[in-house]
Chain A
Amino acid sequence: MALPAHISASPVAAPSRTLVYALVGNPNCGKSTLFNALTGLKQKVGNYPGVTVEKKVGTAYSQHGQPITVVDLPGAYSLAARSPDEAVTRDVLLGRRADTPQPDRILCIVDATNLERNLYLVHQILDLGRPVILVLNMMDVAAASGLTIRLARLEHELGIPVIACEAVNGKGIIDLKLAMSRADLPLSRHAWDIPAAIAPAVAELQASLTSSDGKAPLIARAEALLLLTDQDSVRVAGSRPLSARTAEILRSWQQRWARDGTDWAGTLVSSRYDVIGRISGDVLQAGTATGASISDRIDGVVTHPVWGWVTLGALMTALFMSIFTLAEYPMNFIDSQVAALGEWVKASMPDGDLRDLITDGAIGGVGGVVIFLPQILILFFFIGMLESTGYMARAAFIMDRLMGRVGLNGKSFIPLLSSFACAIPGIMATRTIEDHKDRLVTILIAPLMSCSARLPVYLLMIAALVPDDRVPTMTKVGIMLLMYALGTFGAFGFAWLFKRTLLKGEPPAMIMELPPYRRPNLIEVARHMLERAWLFLRRAGTVILGISIVLWFLSAYPKAPDGTPPSQQVAQSFAGQAGRAIEPLIRPLGFDWQIGIGLITSFAAREVFVSTMGVVFNASADDDDTEPLRKALLDAKWPDGRPLFTPLVCFTLMIFYVFAMQCVSTLAVVRRETNSWKWPLFQVGYLTGTAWLISLLVYQGGRALGF
Chain B
Amino acid sequence: MKLSELATGASAVVRDFPKTGTAFLRLREMGLLNGTRVTLVRTAPLGDPIEIKVRGYHLTLRKSEAEHVVVELAV
Q: How far is the CA of A404 from the CA of B49 in the complex (A)?
A: 10
B50 smallest CB distance to A (angstroms)? 9
> Closest CB of chain A to B41's CB: distance in Å?
8
Question: Which A residues are CB-close (under 8 A) to B25?
Answer: 80, 229-231, 265, 269
Q: Which of A393-412 contact B (CB under 8 A)?
A: 393, 397-398, 400-402, 404, 410
B28: nearest residue on chain A (CB-CB)? A269
CB distance A269 to B33 under 8 Å? yes
Within 8 A of B (CB), among A71-97: 77-78, 80, 82
Q: Tell me the nearest residue of chain A to B29, going by C-beta.
A: A78
Q: Number of A residues contacting the other chain (C-beta, 8 Å)?
A: 44
B65 within 8 A of A: yes
Within 8 A of A (CB), among B14-56: 17, 19-20, 22-23, 25-31, 33-34, 41-42, 44-49, 51, 55-56
Task: Give A389 Cβ to nearest chain B Cβ, in Å.
Answer: 15
Q: Which residues of B contact A299 (CB under 8 A)?
A: 41-42
B62 touches A510 (CB 8 A): yes
Contact in complex: A514, B44 (CB < 8 Å)? no
Cα A698 to Cα B61 in complex, Å, equals 43
Cα distance A410–B62 when bound, in Å? 11
B15 shortest CB reach to chain A, Å: 13
- With A266-B28, A270-B34, A273-B33 already in contact, the answer to whether A303 and B45 are too (CB < 8 A) is yes
A61 at the B interface (CB under 8 A): no
CB pair B31–A402 under 8 Å, yes or no, is no
- What separation, in Å, do the CA atoms of A442 and B65 have in the docked complex? 23
For A514, the chain B residues whose CB sits under 8 A away are: 51, 57-60
Q: Across the interface, which residues of A come within 8 angstroms of B55, CB to CB? A: 114, 116-117
Whether A77 and B29, one on each chain, are in contact in the complex, defined by CB atoms closer than 8 angstroms, is yes
Please give, as numbers and ranges, the residues of chain B lying within 8 Å of A309 by CB-CB distance: 45
Contacts of B62 in A (CB 8 A): 400, 404, 509-510
Other-chain residue from A80, A303, A398 in contact with B29 (beta carbon distance below 8 A): A80
- CA–CA, A265 and B33, complex, Å: 12
- Pairwise interchain contact B26-A509, C-beta atoms closer than 8 A: yes
**Cα of A120 to Cα of B59 in the assembled complex, Å:** 16
Compute how far the CA of A113 lies from the CA of B22 in the bound complex, rounded to whole angstroms.
27
**Chain B contact residue count (CB 8 A cutoff):** 33
Q: For A230, give the chain B residue with the smallest CB separation.
A: B25
Q: Is A195 an interface residue (CB 8 A)?
A: no
CB–CB A404/B51 < 8 A:
no
A114 touches B56 (CB 8 A): yes
Is there contact, CB below 8 Å, between A308 and B45? yes
Q: How far is the CA of A116 from the CA of B64 in the complex (A)?
A: 26
Residue pair B26, A511 in contact (C-beta under 8 Å): yes
A506 at the interface (CB under 8 A from B): yes
Q: Given A270-B34, A511-B27, is A116 in contact with B48 using a C-beta cutoff of 8 Å?
A: no
In the bound complex, residues from chain A placing their C-beta under 8 Å from that of B33 are 266, 269-270, 273
Chain A residue, CB-CB nearest to B55: A116
Which residues of B are found within 8 Å of A117, using beta-carbon distances?
A: 30-31, 55-57
Q: Which of B20, B31, B64 contacts A120 (CB under 8 A)?
A: B31
- Min CB distance B21 to A, Å, is 8
Contacts of A511 in B (CB 8 A): 23, 26-27, 30, 59-61, 65
Per-position 1/0 for A482-517, Cβ under 8 A of B = 000000000000000000000000110111111110
Hey, which chain A residues are within 8 Å of B56, CB to CB? 113-114, 116-117
Given contacts A116-B56, A266-B17, A511-B59, contact A82 B42 (CB under 8 A): no
B19 and A265 contacting across the interface, CB-CB below 8 Å: yes
* B17 and chain A: residue at smallest CB distance: A266
B64 adjacent to A507 (CB under 8 Å)? yes
Asked if B19 and A263 sit within 8 Å, CB to CB, the answer is: yes
B interface footprint on A221-236 (CB within 8 Å = 1, 0 otherwise): 0000000011110000
Could you say which residues of chain A place their CB within 8 Å of the CB of B46? 398, 400-402
Interface string of A514-557 (1 = CB under 8 A from B): 11100000000000000000000000000000000000000000
Determine the distance from Cα of A352 to Cα of B71 in the docked complex, in whole angstroms. Answer: 79
- Whether the pair A510, B60 counts as a contact (CB closer than 8 A) is yes
Minimal beta-carbon separation of B43 from chain A (angstroms): 9
Residues of B within 8 A of A270 (CB): 28, 33-34
| Mask: chain A, 267-281; 1 = CB below 8 Å from B; 0 = not | 001100100000000
Q: How far is the CA of A270 from the CA of B7 in the complex (A)?
A: 26
Any B CB within 8 A of the CB of A706 = no
* B57–A513 CB distance below 8 A: yes
Within 8 A of B (CB), among A305-320: 305, 308-309
A contact residues around B19 at 8 Å (CB): 263, 265-266
* Interface positions of B (Cβ within 8 A of A): 17, 19-20, 22-23, 25-31, 33-34, 41-42, 44-49, 51, 55-62, 64-65
19 A–B contacts, CB within 8 A, in A order: A77-B26, A82-B22, A114-B55, A117-B31, A229-B25, A263-B19, A265-B28, A266-B28, A266-B33, A303-B42, A398-B45, A404-B48, A410-B49, A506-B22, A506-B23, A507-B64, A509-B26, A511-B30, A514-B51
Q: Known A-B contacts: A78-B29, A117-B30, A509-B62. Give 8 more (CB < 8 A).
A: A82-B26, A120-B31, A230-B25, A266-B33, A270-B28, A303-B51, A397-B49, A514-B57
